Amino acid sequence: MSRLAQSKASPVAAKRDGRMGATGAQDEVCPVCKSSRYMNPNLRFLVNPECYHKMCESCVDRIFSHGPAQCPIPGCTRTLRKHRFREQTFEDIRVEREVDIRKRVAAVFNKREEEFEELRDYNDYLNEVEDITFNLVNGIDLAETNRRFEEYERAHAAEIKENERLAKQEKMSFSQKQKAERQLARERREAARREEEAERRELEEGRRDLVNRLASGQDPDKVERQGQVQLKKRLDRQAAATRQQELRAADEAARTGAPFIKGLKARPTKSKEPERPVDPFGGMRIEPKYFSLQDEYLWSGVQETKKDVRHMAGGYDVRDYTQRSLVAAFSGFGVFVAEEIEERERGGVNERELATMRSDVGLKDSGMADASR
């Protein structure tokens, strides 16, 4: 066949098979018997998830009907079985393979979100599943990935079966709920249709009755009042019917059950601990180390200040002054100038280290050092 004839025949073959894309007729040729869909429009191609090599249904029946056999594609050593052959769903065989791998991984790694207490743990689990899937799809470190996959499957066999059972139960309940909702919708439509038909007949009968009354010579005002009364009764009946339908719909929704709500596992509630007193100093000790502050000091300056209204009126406390004076007086304890000079002359410490040592000693002397140190 010439190239021009092939280019003209390809659209015809594509019309005969909607799954055929722009790859041409070569993808529609069986690699075993060389049968073409162009010559046989009813030709069906099957693939096996063991190797994903495509071949026609006739070759599958001829080669694998008597039992497992090696794949007839040159270079493939996989052993195939007939019952595993199926039609290709996606045009790209790589997509077909990835979908199968993801289904296989999802059947084993089927933990649910409500089994985790922290969202971070659930995200880490999903990330691990995606890493395994990526390695299997792209053939990265297959031995280690398959080992992790099999170990997880053996270690969590009971959980996998339980989650599979729950998934089937949810799917069945959801299907039943959808079926009940469709049935209820059909009943509502049928009831609305019957109600519209009854209202139309009643309206037609009322119109004919009105014409007959006016034709018989009755008072028009009286006829109008009677018509208004009948209209009010009809509206009341419609409102009652609508209310009854709403009640039936609410009862049906309650009977079918509430929708499934998924989320993280509920954490066990812990008993609240009593609140601790606030520590404004953050654990710093403020008790003096070398002295104890007294309530009274027999010093004329302190006694006169305590009696002076000008000092005490603003909330001044003499104890603050006495404490500050004592801290300043005792702040030099533990500092030996001779030792510092000797260390500096030997070059053991520099000025910065010496200043740090002095500040540490001052803090310890004043009792302001951290309690944890």
Whether 206 and 227 have beta carbons less than 8 Å apart is answered as yes
Whether 315 and 299 have beta carbons less than 8 Å apart is answered as no
pTM above 0.75, yes or no: no
Note the pLDDT tens digit of each residue in 64-104. Answer: 998 999 999 999 989 999 999 999 888 888 999 999 999 99
pLDDT at 18: 41
Note the pLDDT tens digit of each residue in 206-231. Answer: 778 777 777 787 777 777 777 777 77
Note the pLDDT tens digit of each residue in 182-195. Answer: 887 888 888 888 88
Q: At 133, which amino acid appears?
A: T
The region, left, alpha or beta by phi > 0 then psi within -120 to 50, assigned to residue 53 is beta
Asked whether the predicted pLDDT for residue 14 surpasses 50, the reply is no
For the chain, give the percent of residues with pLDDT over 90. 21
Query: Which band of pLDDT confidence, cut at 50, 70 and 90, is reported for residue 373?
Result: very low
Q: Collect all residues with Cβ–Cβ distance below 8 Å to 31 and sequence separation of at least 6.
A: 53, 54, 55, 73
pLDDT at 190: 85
Note the pLDDT tens digit of each residue in 268-283. Answer: 655 667 777 887 777 7
**3 state SS of 301:** helix
Q: What is the dihedral of CA 323, 328, 330, 334, to 10 degrees?
A: 140
Using CA atoms, how far apart are residues 323 and 320, in angstroms rounded to an integer? 5
Cα–Cα distances in Å, from 161 out to 182, 233, 348? 32, 61, 72
Cα–Cα distances in Å, from 181 out to 252, 259, 323, 344? 9, 13, 82, 92
Note the pLDDT tens digit of each residue in 98-155. Answer: 999 999 999 999 888 888 888 898 999 999 999 999 999 999 998 999 999 999 999 9
Question: Closest Cα partner for 365 from 285, 248, 283, 251?
Answer: 285
Whether 172 and 193 have beta carbons less than 8 Å apart is answered as no
